[in-house]
Each structure stands twice: as C-alpha cells, then as structure tokens.
Amino acid sequence: MAEKSVLLLFGGGSTEHEISKVSSKFIRKNLKSIEGIKTYAIELTKDNGYIAEDGEECHLSFTGELIFEKSGKRIKIDYAIPCLHGFPGETGDIQSVFELSRIPYFGCDKEASQNCFNKVTSKLWFDTLQIPNTPSIFLSSSNLNELEKARTFFRKYGEVFIKAASQGSSVGCYWVTDESNLEMSVIEAFNYSQHVLIEKALKARELEIAVYEYDGKIVVTRPGEIITPENEFYSYEEKYSNGSNSVTHIEAKDLTDTQVSTMMKIAKKAFVAMKLRHLARIDFFLTSEGEIYLNEVNTFPGMTEISMFPKMLENHGHSFINYLKQHITK
C-alpha cells in the first residue's frame, strides 16, 4: 500500500498559537507509531504563511498539494489534521480550504466548527435544541442603548461574565462583580469580536465530557472535572501557565448517577444535532443548586500530554493511536 501523506497543521493566528504547537507535538508523537503514513508538520504563522520544519516556506494548492517554495517539491496531501485552537481551525476557515482542495480531514466540518466557536450562535443552537444553558443576553455594539441593556442584566444577577463571541482560551472573557467595571469590560470584549455575550455568573463545578467516533460509533465518556482555586475562574493563566493552581480529574467525583447520565445525554444530543464529527470536548457547569448547563462545545480541544480529551479517551479504554489511525486510514 502506498504511503499516505498526512498534513499536520499547527500554530494559526489566534492567541492559542503556542498551545496548538504543544498539542501538535503530542499528536506527532502518536502519529509516529502508525505505519504507512508520512507526516508533514507545518506551522501556520500568525499572518497565514506556511512553514515546514526545516524553515522552508510552502503553501497548499487548490489541487491539494503542498508546494515547497524553494525546492519546488510538491507533495499530494492525502489527509489533513487541523491541530489549531481558535482561528483558523475551530472557526471553520481552514476546513473550507481543505474542502476546496478536496483533502479529507480530521474533525468537524466548517459549518459545525463555526456554529460551536461563536458563543452567540451556539447559544441559539442550544436554545433551539432545548439544551439548558446559562441565562444570557448578547450585545451587537457598545452604544448607550446596548450598555443600558448590560446594566439592567447586571442588576438582575449581581455578577456576570462578559465574553467576546468569537474567542477561546478565556481571552476577551471578564468576570464582573462590580457595576463600575461593567462598561469597561464590555468595551474591552468588543476589541475581540463583533458580538459580546453577557452571562449570569454561576457558582458552579466545571465538568467536561469527551465525545468521539471510535470503531464507527459515537462514544461519550463520563465527565471529568477542572477545579479552579476559590475566587478564580478558568482564565488563560489558570489554563496554561506553570503557576496554575487548577486541578483536573479525569473522572469527576461525587456526582449522582442522574447528573452523569443527564450530562452524557446532552453531550450526545449536541454532537448529533449539531453534526459534529470525530471529536469534541463538551463543557458543562453544575451549579450549587444542582442545575446542569451546557457551557460550550470545543471542536478541537487541547491535545497536549496533560489535556483532558486524550486522557478521557484512554481512560474510557480506547487507544489514542488507534483512534487517530482509524480516521486517517479510513
């Protein structure tokens, strides 16, 4: 059988560029154990350039070839893995390029990615699917009228989360407990996105479920948990810095059977109805009053050595190498 050329794309233009590099190293390590494939690990720079490991610039043609600028080498790509968190992977942009170039690829398609990435769009989906989610409103500008809406919402709940609609990694995400910081945070969030979501701030546990396709079936794991220190949220620093005090549990403790099964059912419903493919990490809140809310769907969750998604998959009894192999060689 001819060797398959696999394009492993990492980096990208988002604030998660560096994390995606770390994720790609982990995926690369796993790909090494798969016979019959040759991996081309290519970094997508912040200004959309493609750079090979030896520093040579290259680009992807609309005929599905990776073309190296200096040597003129052309490689027909058989499969692509968009190991990109945020733009242009989770936003659905790179999937359009793959489709136009007729390259089969790993993960959700363009539309599903877009629907999940935009926090306003995904709320509309959750509501339509009758999936419980945190009470919220969204603003389309920071004019006086919209700021007044924000103030009214704040006064109703006393504490809110303000989130740029098209962002991840807690960038453009602010926890506001004092009304005097409200306006500033809304304006800040608009620096990142065209829409801003305002949510009731919850006192809640943060639970995550991995959903993926294995042996042709959709697998839903039990929830894992992220525990952040008291009075902090799962901010960019808590997620990625060495000084993070957050703790993760591959399987959350002290949940009732009903809570577990409710979350698993909702995760599967979202995966199926929103037409997700191959993988997703679906994040929940469990409030102190026992309400379960779907927070967000990540279509390319962290894939580092210590990330929840690969760990939950292995904990479920599956092999991550085998999982990648199934999709690449299908």
Ligand X SMILES: Nc1ncnc2c1ncn2[C@@H]1O[C@H](COP(=O)(O)OP(=O)(O)O)[C@@H](O)[C@H]1O
Please report how close the Cβ of residue 296 comes to ligand X at its closest, in angstroms: 5
Query: Considering beta carbons, is residue 77 or 276 the nearer one to ligand X?
Result: 276
Please report how close the Cβ of residue 238 comes to ligand X at its closest, in angstroms: 8
Using Cβ positions, the residue closest to ligand X within the complex turns out to be 234
Pairing of strands 4-11, 37-44: parallel
Please report how close the Cβ of residue 293 comes to ligand X at its closest, in angstroms: 8
Rounded to the nearest 5°, which phi and psi values hold at 131?
-100, 120
Query: Considering beta carbons, is residue 39 or 299 the nearer one to ligand X?
Result: 299
Phi-psi region of 180 (alpha: psi -120 to 50; beta: other; left: phi over 0): alpha
d(CA 209, CA 211): 6
What b/e string do you get for 256-282 counting C-beta neighbours within 10 Å, with b at 16 or more? eeebbebbbebbbbbbeebebbbbbbb
Query: Considering beta carbons, is residue 65 or 206 the nearer one to ligand X?
Result: 206
- Provide the binding-site residues for ligand X, judged by CB under 6 A: 134, 161, 163, 168-170, 173, 199-202, 204, 206, 233-234, 283, 295-296
Please report which helix (H) or strand (E) contains residue 207, including its range.
Answer: strand 204-214
Please report how close the Cβ of residue 169 comes to ligand X at its closest, in angstroms: 5
| Radius of gyration of the chain from its Cα atoms, rounded to whole angstroms | 20
Query: Considering beta carbons, is residue 93 or 206 the nearer one to ligand X?
Result: 206
Query: Considering beta carbons, is residue 198 or 220 the nearer one to ligand X?
Result: 198
Query: Considering beta carbons, is residue 205 or 325 the nearer one to ligand X?
Result: 205
Pairing of strands 173-176, 204-214: unpaired
Please report how close the Cβ of residue 74 comes to ligand X at its closest, in angstroms: 38
Please report how close the Cβ of residue 180 comes to ligand X at its closest, in angstroms: 20
What b/e string do you get for 28-46 counting C-beta neighbours within 10 Å, with b at 16 or more? bebbeebeebebbbbbbee
Please report how close the Cβ of residue 290 comes to ligand X at its closest, in angstroms: 15
Query: Considering beta carbons, is residue 64 or 82 the nearer one to ligand X?
Result: 82
By three-state DSSP, how is residue 94 classified? helix
For residue 252, give both structure tokens. 């959350």
